[in-house]
A = this chain, B = another copy of it.
Amino acid sequence: MPKAVVLLSGGLDSSTCLAMARQQRYTSYALSFNYGQRHARELESARKVANALQVKEHLIIDINLRSIGGSALTADISVPKARPAVQIGAGIPVTYVPARNTIFLSLALAWAEVLETGHIFIGVNALDYSGYPDCRPEYIRAFEQMANLATKAAAEGKCRYRIHTPLINMSKAQIIREGCKLGLDYGLTYSCYDPLEGNHPCGQCDSCLLRLKGFKEAGLTDPLVSVKT
């Protein structure tokens, strides 16, 4: 079974992505980041999901992106609430974290090189998403090209890097149905950007709203919300 590095935030998308990598018979190495995010609660979910999906190893790297700031997730900027559905994905909101996927994929690339595999999975989605530029297919292809010039393994012809994005063209409802089919317990995952006291999801940030819309369209109940409320 080939190895794969799988970026795992602990959210709905990345957890489904991990379940899909497993379904595709990769031996998964999950990679998470404690980056000073407002919703560090997601790391508890990342641990639970990594454990439930029996990854080979789960590495959590500390990197303080608060020292750079520039986002509602890493600085004192308010997270937008209760935005109409038509606004979500129409522009790039203040929850965008500068170069986040580039930083995360770079570290995934480093680990993949050490593990001697060319497979990296990331749960980006360009349909029911927040409009972040580093979730688009053209960005992913450009990262891939760069990765194949950046590394010793590629320069020596031992490895070609491929960024797998199994969710990229799926709707949130399709993602949820796929995860359920694979037996993923969404009660383990966590999506909220701006948790309330006791880490209850706020239910009003873009991430909560997209999750809510996804479960509704899939005709399913979110086990996380039904447990928490």
Contact = CB atoms under 8 A, between A and B. Distances in A.
Contacts of A145: 142, 145-146
Contact of A103 (B92, B107, B139, B154): B107
A98 interface: yes
A68 to B, nearest CB: 5
Indicate how many identical chains form the complex: 2
Contacts of A114: 68-70, 98
Interface stretch (A20-28, A59-67, A81-89): A59-67
Counting chain B CB atoms within 10 Å of each CB, which of A67, A133, A146, A156 scores highest?
Answer: A146
Interface string A29-70: 000000000000000000000000000000101111101111
B149 A133 contact: yes
Interface string A100-128: 11110011011101100000000000000
Interface residues of A, number: 44
B63 A61 contact: yes
Contacts of A65: 110
A131 to B, nearest CB: 9
14 contacts: A59-B67, A61-B67, A62-B63, A63-B63, A69-B114, A70-B110, A92-B155, A98-B113, A98-B152, A102-B147, A102-B150, A133-B149, A138-B149, A139-B150
The 8 A-B residue pairs with the shortest CB-CB distance in the complex, in nearest-first order: A70-B114, A99-B110, A142-B146, A133-B155, A98-B110, A98-B113, A139-B149, A102-B106
Interface of A: 59, 61-65, 67-70, 92, 96-103, 106-107, 109-111, 113-114, 132-134, 136, 138-139, 142-143, 145-147, 149-152, 154-156
